[in-house]
Amino acid sequence: ICDLDKDHITFYFFQCRKPEQHVHVDIYERLPVPFGLVRFGVAPDHPEVKNVINTFTQTAKHSRCSFYGNVNVGKDVSVQELQRAYHAVVLSYGAEGNRTMGVPGEGLAGVYSAKDFVGWYNGLPSCRQLSPDLSCETAVILGQGNVALDVARVLLSPVDMLKETDITQPALEALAHSQVRRVLIVGRRGPVQVAFTIKELREMVNLPGTRPDMVEADFDGVTEALKDLPRPRKRLTELMLKTALQTPGETEQERRDQASRTWGLRFFRSPVEVLADPERHRTAGIRLAVTRLEGSGEAARAVLTGDVEDVTCGLVISSIGYKSLPIDQSVPFDSKSAIVPNTMGRIKQAPGLYCSGWLKTGPTGVIATTMNNSFDTARSLLDDMESGVLDLSAAKSGSQVITALLEQRGVKPVSFSDWEKIDRVEMSRGEASGKPREKLLTVEEMLHVART
């Protein structure tokens, strides 16, 4: 079981008639297309990360695996109906909700969640109408994880670089006319607590046409803290220190002097208000509270100092995290932690019901983390099969009864071979424009191609 799906609802169901028989897996997906986060969450200039699609495709084509796209679980079919049809149900629908800042002005034009912004340039149908206004000079991104750096990189990348990716054509055209020349990536804690990886930071440091803009005072005491850091964190922090404090060599200085765009990390700042223009219609800036750290290392927490500062900007992108949403009243849900309560993937007080991915753990980790997380859930399920916790003695009709229910309700699922029709059209359109893929942007267009 591999759950790489953050923004879209994917479910894995197991149908086992006898213990000695092999497991059959049915995958139900809300959209007509598979691959979830890999398709709609991975940055367009990271094609190597999307190679995992090849492994997924092999699994989907297995004789004991079936894909049912265009099925909205919780609406088209209930979880209880699935439980009656299958021996086990695994919920793997990720974290599609946004954590809000909870500050005045958050609803102004010019404020976007990173999830929606990423969905816009990656072709998520629900984000197609976002049309962000990129006419301002300065953008502020709140949060210092990999997604925040992805957004910053896309905003500042030369259009000629983006033209060679699978970024959507509307996003490419908008970025070609963008006036954004400065991006600040803001975090409430310090350099030692950032959540992005060294790979993402290195890409920012080397991004053509840009130069870093750091505040030296933010790095006071960081050099002394290096000796106590674990190796990955130490290497990351050393690169930040080098970028912020070290005098660049002649070649690098020349590159920076020629740069027309800047990016910078800003630490010890927390949003308290999005500032409006005089007409109170759209974003004109953001007020940041100055913080200091209590404690050390990754356990350090930010506390307010009482000071504030205003930053003029016309674009605010909140990348402070995601949260899972409840899907069905029959499924236990912890609204405070925004997860399904579970033990090693076994959903509490719900025999035969399992979970994986961010629904299970909360929105932490990268794709590899989520894969290992899903393997753990699969082991729990297989252990329950072998121990008899799952009753495999009764025959279950699986997809046979579910597809009959869907037909009665006017829902026509998309098969994996139907998806392959969409795939061929997207690849063909991409080839015609010199891109690896040109995605279909609406569910209606996807269904038209799948059923032609």
**pLDDT tens by residue, 222-253:** 999 999 999 999 999 999 999 999 999 999 99
> Tell me, what's the pLDDT at 14?
58
CATH for 100-320, among 3.90.79.10, 3.50.50.60, 3.30.70.100, 1.10.645.10? Answer: 3.50.50.60
Q: Where are the domains of the chain?
A: 8-96+323-414, 100-320
User: Strands 10-15 and 24-29: what pairing?
Assistant: antiparallel
Burial class (CB in 10 A: 0-12, 13-18, 19+), 53: middle
* Confidence tier at 21 by pLDDT (50, 70, 90): low
CATH of domain 8-96+323-414: 3.40.50.720
Residues of the chain above pLDDT 70, percent: 95
3-state secondary structure of 344: coil
> Tell me, what's the pLDDT at 98?
85
Residue positions forming the annotated binding site for FAD: 29, 37, 73, 358, 365-367
Residues of the chain above pLDDT 90, percent: 85
Q: Count CB-CB contacts under 10 A for residue 254.
A: 10
* Confidence tier at 286 by pLDDT (50, 70, 90): very high
Torsion of CA 103, 292, 139, 249, to 10 degrees: -170
Name residues whose C-beta falls within 8 Å of residue 428's C-beta, 6 or more positions apart in sequence: none
Counting every residue, how long is the chain? 452
Task: Report pLDDT digits (tens) over 329-342.
Answer: 899 999 999 999 99
* Confidence tier at 371 by pLDDT (50, 70, 90): confident
Residue positions forming the annotated binding site for NADP(+): 144-147, 188-189, 200, 365
The model's pTM is 0.92
Residue positions forming the annotated binding site: 29, 37, 73, 144-147, 188-189, 200, 358, 365-367
